[in-house]
Structure 1
Amino acid sequence: MIRQTQDNGRTGISSSWLIGLCLSFLMPLPLTFPQDDEPLFLRREQSDVRIRALGEEWNVHRVCLCQSTYFASMFRGAWRETNMDTIELQIPDENIDREALHEAFGALYRGSIFIPSGRVVTILATTSMLQLDEVIWQCGEVMKVTIRAQTLCSYDYSAESYGLQTIRTMCLQWLLENMMTQCSEKLLREVSQDLMKGVIDSSELLVMGVEMDVYTMLKKRDSEGTPFLGTEQGRAFVPVFQQLRFAYINCDTTRREQHAVRGQLHRHKQCSWRWEGFNFSWDLVVCYANQHIIFWYSAPNKSYSLGVSLLEQRKVAFHLRLSSLDRDGRAVFRKDTGYHMLSLREDQELEVMNLENQYVVFPIHVACNFLYLH
């Protein structure tokens, strides 16, 4: 059967971007400050306010701080801090540190900030508190091109905490394409319940085997011999297992009809998959050759067919997806037919995808879901 689809969004990513990016943003300053390699606030010249936080203090200028919505509201409203010379900042977020605060204050003077991928979560937390929208956007751009196994969970948690929905969607997409191929048991344990539930529930999950493999993968989350779902931590993941297609697993274990074709395509190599009819009484052959993917209703009199159908025409709904991933698991090529229905007569061939004149990166992961229609 075909998984019920949900709209989880997609975003194309250029793999040529650098991991650490020096990102600039424009923030109009009401005054012109002298151009110097050392930020003005470090020299304590004409400072009119002192900021204390995390055991550090900065001598800064209100007119610069007001570029931050956080400080603009503080200085222009009827607050206790409005006219104070020294302000004690309360830092409730453990992701914020002194270095990130220093960089954020400096950005208000320089108009630019360096955001290495290893510091992006900390800088995002800091600029979210200070409400520096331009820097928050830049943090999102860095996260987009550095999602991989090592950053997935921290990015997903941070994106949820600081309202970057696009990053959450991209984390989901990364896991949909990589969970069954390169995720370690350690990573699987760290994935949040909501993210894992979204993956298992999605029709876009790239499963290179059968649904039983998804169940086996989830069982790897056991802890010290005790079934994971029986532990206090594991009970929260019961809804994740409830998203499994148990009807598919039953088909796999009883060796009846399967509902998907999965595999890999390699350059200059022909290949084919056959979905044998059994209960549905016909064979569907999926062929790849010369950059074309073809469906074939295999008739019994062909030498390679095991077909047993006596019907001259059958209908099938299908969803064919191709994707190529780089070493970090980011998609460098995607192609998707969407959901379609077609009718096939005996021995009829129909082309469903053409890859000619397209930039294709091999190997290509193939996933095709089917639903026979009576």
Structure 2
Amino acid sequence: MEVRDREFYDLIARGLENNGISFQDYIDEMFAEKYNKPETPGFDWEPDMQDDFEFKQISATARVYTMATYVDFDSPGPVKHTEGFELGSDKMPRMKHEFNIDEAKIRLHMQALQQFGVFSERMAQSVENLLFESTDMLLGGNYNSLKFQRHQAVSKGQFDIIAENNPQGITGVSIDFHVPGKNRWEIAWWKKDGTLNADITPLEDLKNKVTYIRQTCYAPVDHIEVNKITWDKFIMIPAVRQALGYIKNPLVTTADAAVQIGVSLLDDEMKVLVEKYVGAPITIIDSVSVVEKFDKKTRTVSTPTLQSFDENVFVFVPSSRIGTIKAVTPIVINDPAARIAFYDEGRTVITQTFDAYNKVQKISSELTALCVPNVVRQMYYLTVKASK
């Protein structure tokens, strides 16, 4: 008599055994190149993981070669400071999600097994595809979450967990990264009805801020970051087109002629001219994040999109290195009924379990991590708003 126990219905085991590899080997082999590092410019993994959820935000400055100190002949030199002071501390959020290989999928493969009598190469490939797609969605979702964290930390100076970006989890959590209030400016380019204010000089406003930061605040400006929607609005402003026309051809004698030149410029040309005039490279952030939302009334799932980088703000960033991704060491309890694999050098844990009651195999991911900027004292924000 054939025994149909948990092992009989364990599709993942059949797929892995067909290739003669473990769950960890499978993760290492299949995802070594696709997700070799998060897409979080300026933020790399903190080398060491920590054991508790509390993180400390340590202030850092852009790398500068400070002058040596003049001392008496027999006096030692002062020790250079390698770490800044603590700006604050908070708790790191934990990210979890999972995929189910449900009863319908299990039955489909079992029917094929009964029909052919063996677990064929084609069936093994089908199971492997299920495993790959599920794991791929989990790891890709984690990296998209880190990218969203990064863009929120840079564009807002804080990270908020709210219903809009976390509809199925905790809400009302705000992690402040302590950008000084004096580093934030507001300027009105538009009226409440959306029309432009008269006599605005957006291009000059950006140049003046770069000059002020460098010459008055004595802070570096490595580059400026801006949301693509905001950038597209910016380059469509007639005053910007006119200014670019004059920059492109200094011999132009009338404003109308300058506007015509500005209108004829391609997007790439405009960006180069703006960067030369302002005096800093501009990074345009075109990133959309997708969340999964369940409507209890209609019992349907929707996937609304969010702008990862906030609109209507220009962020003056002091360095290409903005911070680090801090992570907590995951705790794994030995469970003979579970398959466990690690990713991101041990920061992410992928667990595969079998739920006998609900007749599903689960593949879940857990990562406790946060993009924490450490140069916030030298980050400056110009928010564009409507006039009152």
Question: What TM-score do you get using the length of structure 1 for normalisation?
Answer: 0.22
TM-score normalised to the size of structure 2? 0.21
